[in-house]
Amino acid sequence: MTSAQGPAWWRSAAIYQVYIRSFADGNGDGIGDLAGVRARLDHLAELGVDAIWFTPWYPSPMDDGGYDVADFRDIDPLFGTLAEAEALIAEAHERGLRVIIDIVPNHCSDEHRWFAAALAAGPGSPERQRFWFRPGRGDEPPNNWRSRFGGSAWTQVPDGEWYLHLYSSRQPDFNWDNPEIRTEFEDVLRFWFDRGVDGFRIDVADGLVKDPSLPDVEPGDESPFSDLEGLHEIYRSWRKIADSYPGERVLVGEMWLPDMSRAARYLRQDELHSAFNFDFLVCPWDAGKFRDVISRTLRAHDEVGAPAAWVLSNHDVTRHVTRYGRSGDTGFSFADRLHGTPVDLALGTRRARAAALLTLALPGGMYVYQGEELGLWEIEDIPDALREDPVFARTGGADPGRDGCRVPLPWSGSAPPFDFGSSAWLPQPSVWSSYTAAAEGTDPSSMLSLYRAGLRLREKLPALGAGELSWVSLGDGVLAFTREPGFMFLLNFSASPVPLPPHREILLASGPVTDSIPTDTAVWLRS
C-alpha cells in the first residue's frame, strides 16, 4: 500500500512545515500561535498535504526560536496551552491531516530545570553529569570545538567549569552517556504519542552522542560529535516505542551528513523511518547535478528499503526562490549563504515553479516549508536591530542568520501585516499584497494554484508517490524520467526550448508550454 492515506502513509506523504511563530497569529500580538494554526487548518487541507510538522512549541525563552526548550511536556504561553495543542491535534486529524512534532534531544534551554540544578549543584555533582561540564585548560575552554552558530562551543560558569553547547550558549548539550537522559526522552516520546501525535522530527539527530574524550578537532578528522555509532542504539529503542502505538507513528531525522550512505544507515528497518534529503536542497540549478543527486539518493535509500524525503526549503536555509534567482552560484551552504548577491526574482520564481513539479513527481515523500506554496522569497534587508536569530549576534553580524526565511506569512489584505495579527514580529514587504493566500487562491497562475494542482494530481495519479523512476535521455540540459503507469516528467534546464516528446496529454506545467518546453520550465505528461 503506497497511498498517503494508507498504513504506510509516511512513504509518500507530502508534509507541510509550520514554523509556528510566523504562520498565523490568533490573538493579535504579532506572533504566530496555536489559535492561529487552528483558524488556518483549512488552508492546509485545501492545499492537499497529508501531514503537518510543527517546529518546537514548548516553553522556551526563544533564544533560538524555540529550539531552546525549557520543558518538553508543555506548550509555550506565547503559543497557547496544552489543551489547545490537544484540540489542534484532534482538529487536524478530523481533516485527515497527520501531526508530526519536533523533538530536540541534543540540548535544552539554560532555563530548563535540569540545567538550573546543574549550575546550583556545582562541580562533580550528579546534576552536572546530565550535561558536559569540564574544567578548562588554564584560561582556555576544554577543547577547540566551535559552536555551529559561531564562537567557541564552551561557556564558563562562575565556579570556573565550562559547559558544552554546539549551538548558542543558551542551549547546553545533554550527555547521552547518562542513562537518565535516555529514560527522560523515552518518556517524552510517550507523553506526546499518548496525546495522539503521529510522529517526531528529530532535531540534530546525528549529534546526540559525543566522543567522551572530547578531543580537539583538526580539519580532516572524523567528527567527535556527529554520526557516532552509539546513536543507532538510541534510535532502535525509540523505534520500539513508536511501533508499540497503534497506526504508523514515525521518526524523521534531521541530519546534515556529508555522505548519503552514512545517513541511510539510520533508515534501516528497526531505526528511523525517514530523513530529510538535504543534498537535493543544496543542489545547484543544473540538469546533470540534479540527476546525479536524485540517483544517489534513490540508490542509498533502496539499499535499506526506506523512502526518500525531498526538501527544497526549511526554516534554516535561504528560501529557494532567492537561491535559484541568484546570478551565478545557485547552490546553498551554511558557510556561504551568498547573502546580498543580486537576485532575479522572476527567474527564481520560474525555477521554483519547475522545482516544485520536480519534487512532487519524485518517488517518496516531500516537504513544503510554509510560504513556499505562496512563492515567498528571502527577505534580505531586515534591519539589524530586528534580527533575532542568535547566528547573527554570535558571528558579529558576518552571517545575517535565518530571520529572512521566517518572515510572517501574508494571509489577506493590501498592506502589511496582511492579516497576521496587528503587527508582524518581522516586517513584510508591501509587494506581498499580491502574494497573500487570499490573492493567490483566486489566481489560476499563482504559485498556490500550482501547488494545489500538483498535490491533487500526486494524490490521484497511481504513478506518483512511492515507487520507481526510470531516466530518459533527451539531451544534456534536460532532466526527464518516466514513472509507471503512463507518466513522464521533463524539466528544461538548457538555454533553448526543447520539443515535447510524443504524449497523450499535458497534465500540468510550471509555465506556458506549446509543442516545445521553454527554459526553466517543467511539465507533467500522460505518456
Q: Is 44 in the site for ligand GLC (CB under 6 A)?
A: no
Taking the C-alpha atoms of residue 104 and residue 168, their distance in angstroms, rounded to an integer, is 14
Known active-site residue 173: no
Binding mask 422-441 for Ca ion (x = CB under 5 A): --------------------
Q: What residues from 299 to 358 belong to the interface with ligand GLC (CB under 6 A)?
A: 315-316
27 binds, among ligand GLC, Ca ion, none (CB under 5 to 8 A by kind): Ca ion
Are 489 and 361 spatial neighbours (Cβ–Cβ below 8 Å)? yes
Q: How many residues bind ligand GLC (CB under 6 A)?
A: 9
Q: Identity (one letter) of the amino acid at 357? A: L
| Contact characters 118-157, ligand GLC, x per CB under 6 A | ----------------------------------------
Closest by CA position to 255, among listed 271, 237, 239: 271
Residue 470 pairs in a beta bridge with 482
Q: With respect to Ca ion, which residue has the nearer C-beta, 209 or 407?
A: 407
Residue 522 in grid coordinates = 517543467
Q: Does 167 bind ligand GLC (CB under 6 A)?
A: yes
How many other C-beta atoms are found inside a 10 Å radius of the C-beta of residue 122?
13
104 scored as a contact of ligand GLC (CB under 6 A):
yes
Alpha carbon distance 83, 74 (integer Å): 10
Closest CA to 141 of 131, 149, 133: 133
Per residue, the 3-state secondary structure of 90-134, as one string, reads HHHHHCCCEEEEEECCCECCCCCHHHHHHHHHCCCCCCHHHECEE
Residue 31 binds which entry of ligand GLC, Ca ion, none, with Cβ cut-offs from 5 to 8 Å by kind?
Answer: Ca ion
Which listed option, ligand GLC, Ca ion, none, makes contact with residue 275 (CB within 5 to 8 Å by class)? none
DSSP E strands in 258-300: the ranges are 274-275
Residue 463, interface with ligand GLC (CB under 6 A)? no
Site stretch for Ca ion (CB under 5 A), options 28-36, 275-283, 310-318, 485-493: 28-36
Which CB sits closer to ligand GLC, 19 or 420? Answer: 19
* Active site (annotated) includes residue 91: no
List the interface residues with ligand GLC, window 236-255 (CB under 6 A): 254
Check 25, 64, 84, 203 and give the catalytic one: 203
Please give the Cα distance from 71 to 322 (Å, whole number): 36
Alpha-carbon distance 405 to 312, whole Å? 13
Site for ligand GLC contains 173 (CB under 6 A) = no
By the criterion CB under 6 A, which residues form the site for ligand GLC? 64, 67, 104, 167, 203-204, 254, 315-316
- Residues forming the active site: 203, 254
By the criterion CB under 5 A, which residues form the site for Ca ion? 25, 27, 29, 31, 33
